[in-house]
Amino acid sequence: MCMDGVLTINKPAGMTSHDVVLSVRRILKEKKIGHTGTLDPMATGVLVLCIGKATRIARYLEAGEKEYSAVMRLGVTTDTLDAEGRILETVSYASPAPSDILRIMQGFTGVIMQRPPVFSALKVNGVPSYKLAREGKAEPLQERSVTISRLELTSYVDPLVSFNVTCSKGTYIRTLSADIGAALGMGAHLTALVRTRSGRFSLDQARNLDVLSDPGHAGAAAQALTPIDAALGDFPVVQVGEADAIRIRNGNRIPSKEQGGIAEGALVRIHDPAHGLLAVAVMTGGNLAPEVVFPG
């Protein structure tokens, strides 16, 4: 079965993101599948898979904003920053007031610097950091800038703090929990995490793996598949005629006739004369330069 499109999976706890990819490859009998943003084994929720030709747009989908629902436990720190790690310290503390937690959380909104956890898939000299950490060889990773546009306290029953986060690509909620705990003076670690949205793909669109593999739900994957053009629906459309379509198919840039409406560096979908997706292009110097071409 040849499939091209985007499939949103509700990742179960206990599986790695790669495990999910392998399962879907087996279910669909399709080798060309990749995901657009790792979820830790403990985490559940939205895992966006690109299938067939859609693997060519994975980088665009991965860049989308993410939303999470999370729970952290105060007073206990672990080496992995979550409940699956080894406990490093347990602290006795006076329970903070909800207003204190809110105040500290506000300090972690906007553009902030965050240090990724050493138990992560980020590579150091070609080796995943988590492998080095397991061997006791990991060094602190370099801080990087992330954006947290929303951080909302949803429940607090000491020692558990529940919150929702809207953030940029590359934000580690484990690190955020640990940093909030440190700022409160008692430490904390992540105990539960659900990704509720990744870009334009939300949890209510997601399919469970058992449904996809159930013979009684034949065709469930095809029905759940988002076409490539629709998956890029946040990008504006530029319609071209046949002459410009030929140039785009050959990888050549074309002059933009919509310079006033498209910002420099913006990404657009180019539709061919039949209104099909022809390419993803970037506006540069008044021209549309194709980055990915779908010749048909």
DSSP alpha helices (H): ranges in 163-288? 173-184, 209-213, 220-224, 228-231, 242-249
pLDDT-derived band of residue 2, with 50, 70 and 90 as boundaries? low
What secondary structure letter does DSSP report for 261? T
Is 40 assigned a catalytic role? yes
- Is the pTM above the cut of 0.85? yes
pLDDT at 198 over 70: yes
Active-site residue among 4, 19, 40, 229? 40
pLDDT at 296 over 70: no
Query: What is the CA 51 to chain-centroid distance, rounded?
Result: 16
Q: Which domains does the chain have, with CATH numbers?
A: 5-64+200-228 (3.30.2350.10), 79-158+168-190 (3.30.2350.10), 235-293 (2.30.130.10)
What secondary structure letter does DSSP report for 248? H
The pLDDT tens digits of the residues spanning 102-155 come to 999 999 999 999 999 888 778 888 887 778 888 887 788 889 999 999 999 999
Omega before 98 within 30 of 0, i.e. cis:
no
pLDDT-derived band of residue 258, with 50, 70 and 90 as boundaries? low
Tokens of 265: 């560096």
